[in-house]
Amino acid sequence: MSRLRTALERYVGMRQGLGYKYDGPARRLSEFVTFMEARSAEAITTDLAMEWVTSMGRQPSWSIRLADVRGFAQHLAHFDPLTEVPPSDAVPPARRAKPYIYCDTEIQALLTAALSLPPANALRRWTYHCLFGLIAVAGLRHSEALDLLRDDIDLEQGILIIRETKFGKSRLVPLHATTVAILSDYAARRDAHLGTPRSPYFFVAEQGGRLLHQYVHRVFWRLSRQIGLRLEGQRDGPRIHDLRHRFAVQTLINWYRAGEDVERELPVLSTFLGHANVRDTYWYLSAAPELMNHAVRRLDKRWEARS
């Protein structure tokens, strides 16, 4: 085993010992070490690091690979003076996708269109109606909604249990009574349709198996074209994930309109969404013109009070 490979195992063990899953970075750094071993290189140099970073794919993958190598190199530099840390601006930063903020009419059209999915007597239409609706009203990541187990939804208490998601965090999500009623109705339809449960998941495919991500996206794209949110053959456009963005933005707008102290309430929204850091929630302030206007007016009032 090479010296770099041994150092990588210690580094990954340290990161995971601090509570990070670190699966993706560990996999990419293992590929980087394989690249270095093929060149008989025992120390990280900027030239070799950048050769690997730019050897596959294109932006935004380059910036992700660069961040992985920089973290590893910064760690090694404490023990090996020959280690070079590539500069953070060696590749252009990845651009975060601009969210599409659905209006109420568009969400309602999407949910209504889901109820028209064929066949008429199947569970499928109710599954997608409730799945997309839950994401919209609870601000879930779509992977979180698909991963929900029957035992994760307490319909009596109106609570969702979101387990070990993106940042290894679990959280409780309270549900409105109207949402509980709709989910209860879906559960009754599902059980009547299937008889004996065939999987532990709350939302299931027609034969009771797990819903697969690729099929969920295909149905979403079909419905989006049907209601005019996407053109036929259009590759970009509103996403399922934008339902979560809409929830966050609408929550902030409602707080501003109600005169709430949004800065004080942001950690609440951050916890509700399962963000690792409240700064990730601050990003939503720039996601909608109305939010920016509210934030600017609040800032102006602060400056006026100080002057």
Residue 60 has pLDDT above 70, yes or no: no
Measured between alpha carbons, how far is 114 from 106 in angstroms, rounded to an integer?
Answer: 12
Measured between alpha carbons, how far is 25 from 30 in angstroms, rounded to an integer?
Answer: 8
Q: What angle do CA 24, 26, 30 make, to 5 degrees?
A: 120
For the question of whether the overall pTM of this predicted structure is more than 0.75, the answer is no
Residue 182 has pLDDT above 60, yes or no: yes
Question: Taking a C-beta distance cutoff of 8 angstroms, is the pair 175, 162 a contact?
Answer: no
What pLDDT score was predicted for residue 296? 56
pLDDT class of 297 with cuts at 50, 70, 90: low
What pLDDT score was predicted for residue 83? 96
The amino acid sitting at 248 is: A
Residue 278 has pLDDT above 90, yes or no: no
pLDDT class of 112 with cuts at 50, 70, 90: very high
- 30-47 pLDDT, tens digit each: 999 999 999 999 999 999
144, two tokens? 């979180």
Residue 28 has pLDDT above 90, yes or no: yes
Phi and psi of 187, rounded to 5°? -60, -40
266, two tokens? 């942001």
What pLDDT score was predicted for residue 213? 94
Residue 157 has pLDDT above 90, yes or no: yes
Three-state SS for 140?
coil
The sheet carrying 153-154 orders its strands as: 153-154, 159-162, 171-174
pLDDT class of 166 with cuts at 50, 70, 90: low
Percentages helix, strand, coil for the chain (3-state, rounded to 5) are: 60, 5, 35
Question: Taking a C-beta distance cutoff of 8 angstroms, is the pair 60, 94 a contact?
Answer: yes
What pLDDT score was predicted for residue 99? 84
What pLDDT score was predicted for residue 300? 53
Q: If you count them, how many residues does the chain have?
A: 307
- Residues noted as catalytic: 141, 166, 241, 244, 275, 284
Give the pLDDT mean for 126-137.
98
What pLDDT score was predicted for residue 294? 60
The amino acid sitting at 145 is: A
How distant, in Å, are the alpha carbons of 69, 117, 143, 192, 297 from that of 108?
45, 15, 22, 26, 32
Measured in whole angstroms, the distance separating CA 39 from the mean position of its chain's CA atoms is 37
248, two tokens? 């966050």
Question: Taking a C-beta distance cutoff of 8 angstroms, is the pair 160, 153 a contact?
Answer: yes
- Tell me the CB-side half-sphere exposure of residue 108, using CA atoms within 13 A: 3
H helix intervals, 39-176? 46-53, 61-77, 104-114, 124-138, 142-147
Sequence-separated (6 or more) residues with CB below 8 Å from residue 76: 7, 11, 44, 83
